[in-house]
């Protein structure tokens, strides 16, 4: 079963600035595939900066919609495919 985590990272003014997507696969959190994007959908290096809150998938997509021209769900689907490809069989 896939388990996904969507962590919202706040910017300097407290607004959502980045989203960290984690595929929780296996027992070792350090081995879980991670991607991090800005609210306009651009990929940035994943870091360990504290997150502001954990969002359900629908909320993560909604937050991305404003910066991606209503393509938040599609952007998340793309990231999820990429992260799935990183999981060892």
Query: Could you read off the pLDDT of 64-82 as tens digits, one per residue?
Result: 999 999 999 999 999 999 9
Radius of gyration of the chain, Cα coordinates, nearest whole angstrom: 12
Domain boundaries, the chain: 4-85
pTM of the model: 0.93
C-beta of residue 55 within 8 angstroms of C-beta of residue 63: yes
pLDDT single digits (tens) 9-56: 999 999 999 999 999 998 999 999 999 999 999 999 999 999 999 999
Q: What is the pLDDT of residue 68?
A: 93
Q: How far is CA 69 from the centre of its chain?
A: 17
- Which structure tokens are listed for 26? 């296996």
């Amino acid at each position: 079963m896939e388990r996904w985590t969507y962590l919202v990272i706040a910017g300097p003014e407290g607004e959502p600035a980045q989203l960290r997507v984690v595929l929780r696969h296996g027992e070792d959190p350090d081995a879980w595939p991670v991607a991090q994007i800005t609210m306009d959908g651009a990929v940035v290096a994943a870091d360990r900066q504290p997150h502001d809150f954990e969002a359900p998938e629908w909320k993560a997509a909604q937050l991305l919609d404003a910066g991606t021209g209503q393509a938040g769900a599609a952007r998340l689907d793309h990231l999820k495919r990429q992260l799935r490809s990183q999981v060892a069989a």
